[in-house]
Amino acid sequence: MKRLTVAVILTCLATGAFAQDAVKDRQQAMKGIAASAKTLGDMATDKAPFDAALAEQARVTMQENAARIPALFEPNVIEGETEALPAIWENWDDFAAKGAALEKAAADATTGSLSDVQTAMAQIGPTCRACHTDYRE
Ligand code: HEC
């Protein structure tokens, strides 16, 4: 009996740690996406000087992090400090499609000129909102 209790406790601890990591990892990816969006957005609105190398780096970071969205959100975890809504796992295909839309917008974007970055942000921005409206608190 005692052994069983210990086993149950250990399992709970392991699951809890896994859950927290899952939440942290996906939030970390979102932070990378957000930092990239800020870099591009500041350039697009003249808050920062245009820098082609920096813009391209931000675009690539955004694309790579967006590509990880399905894998990062696959564990159905909504405990601890999270803004993720249960609707994600109830509408998984739609959620994944919205992640793919961001990935595609970042993949299709070009960053060679200021007007490229402005066009890119006009394509990327709505994909953030489209997902957050339904799936983020
Ligand atoms: C496919 C859906 C989806 C897309 C697309 C998406 N997000 Fe998110 N985002 C979420 C969800 C869900 C959360 C909440 C995650 C959590 O708290 O567990 C989140 C959280 C965040 C956070 C808070 C991260 C933290 O520190 O907790 C930021 C900032 C953010 N998103 C910015 C963006 C920006 C900027 C874009 C577009 C460039 C974007 N997101 C695109 C679903 C998405």
Domains and CATH numbers, the chain: 2-73+80-135 (1.20.120.10)
Instruction: Please tell me the pTM assigned to this model.
Output: 0.91
Answer for the pair 99, 69: CB distance below 8 angstroms, yes or no. yes
Torsions phi, psi for 84 (to 5 deg): -70, 140
Q: What is the pLDDT of residue 79?
A: 86
Ligand 1 atom closest to Cα of residue 101: 5
Question: pLDDT tens digits, the chain, 137 residues: what are they?
Answer: 566 666 655 555 566 777 889 999 999 999 999 999 999 999 999 999 999 999 999 999 999 999 999 999 999 998 889 999 999 999 999 999 999 999 999 999 999 999 999 999 999 999 999 999 999 99
66: nearest Cα among 40, 43, 34, 24: 34
Q: Pull the structure tokens for residue 59.
A: 């675009």
Mutate-to-test residue for ligand 1 from 128, 129, 133, 134, highest number of ligand atoms within 8 A of CB: 128
